A and B are shown apart, each in its own frame.
Chain A
Amino acid sequence: DGGITQSPKYLFRKEGQNVTLSCEQNLNHDAMYWYRQDPGQGLRLIYYSQIVNDFQKGDIAEGYSVSREKKESFPLTVTSAQKNPTAFYLCATRDATGRRTDTQYFGPGTRLTVL
């Protein structure tokens, strides 16, 4: 069954703790993205990766870190340096090979709440 998996769906953490959000895909897409969504706002780009072992900062990267050791996986760590981490986090992928397309496909999201 092809798709994008994000886990967990809901995540709670205490202030001062780092937490890692998982994003896995079996679509064989090269590019992967992390977005943050806050109530009443559009999505904002945190980090993106176009190939394995390479990633770039998006518009709001401060307080976050990522890795891309495998094509299928792009985990996001929310560090204690992120001032306001409570939000809905969305992972997306894009097929960047062959006939180029700019369409991104989204996972179901993880809702992070800092207690």
Chain B
Amino acid sequence: GNSVTQMEGPVTLSEEAFLTINCTYTATGYPSLFWYVQYPGEGLQLLLKATKADDKGSNKGFEATYRKETTSFHLEKGSVQVSDSAVYFCALSLNTGTASKLTFGTGTRLQVTL
């Protein structure tokens, strides 16, 4: 079946540090890949996405590249801020018919300190 594996958290960084959150996937077919962010007590917000191999998604200084050869979609940011503290979810979607169901990783909590 389809699955997403994320690095376990929490990840604690100082402000302006470099961030990497690893994400690998298993899927039958060619999925779309997503990163969502969840702030405390809120729903999920789409952070970025990529729909085919070698695509790079980017938003708010975050980037992730769809690597088919390593089945990965690692999230990176060059300089994190305290306001980036949140839980980050990697997810994939396969367009089986028109359902487009999402499969999520377990989430990685990021804490950024001054």
Residues of A within 8 A of B (CB): 4, 6, 31, 33, 40-45, 48, 50, 56, 58, 90, 92, 94, 96, 100, 102-109
Contacts and interface: CB of A to CB of B under 8 A. Distances in A.
Interface in B3-27: 4
Given A40-B106, A42-B107, A102-B32, A96 B98 contact: yes
Nearest to B8: A40
Given A102-B93, A102-B95, A108-B43, A31 B107 contact: no
Contacts of B43: 4, 6, 90, 106-109
Contact of A42 (B4, B32, B51, B100): B4
B69 interface: no
Binding site of B, secondary structure by majority: helix, strand, loop or mixed?
strand
B99 interface: yes
A7 B74 CA distance: 34
Given A58-B101, A103-B34, A106-B45, A41 B95 contact: no
B19 to A, nearest CB: 20
Contacts, number: 64
A33 B44 CA distance: 13
A92 B101 CA distance: 11
Nearest to A51: B98
Given A4-B43, A102-B93, A103-B46, 16 more contacts: A31-B100, A33-B101, A33-B102, A42-B89, A42-B104, A43-B89, A43-B104, A45-B101, A48-B101, A50-B99, A92-B102, A103-B34, A104-B46, A106-B43, A106-B45, A107-B43
Nearest to A58: B101
Contact count band on B:
20 to 34
Interface of B: 4, 32, 34, 36, 41-46, 49, 51, 89, 91, 93, 95, 98-102, 104-107
B91 to A, nearest CB: 8
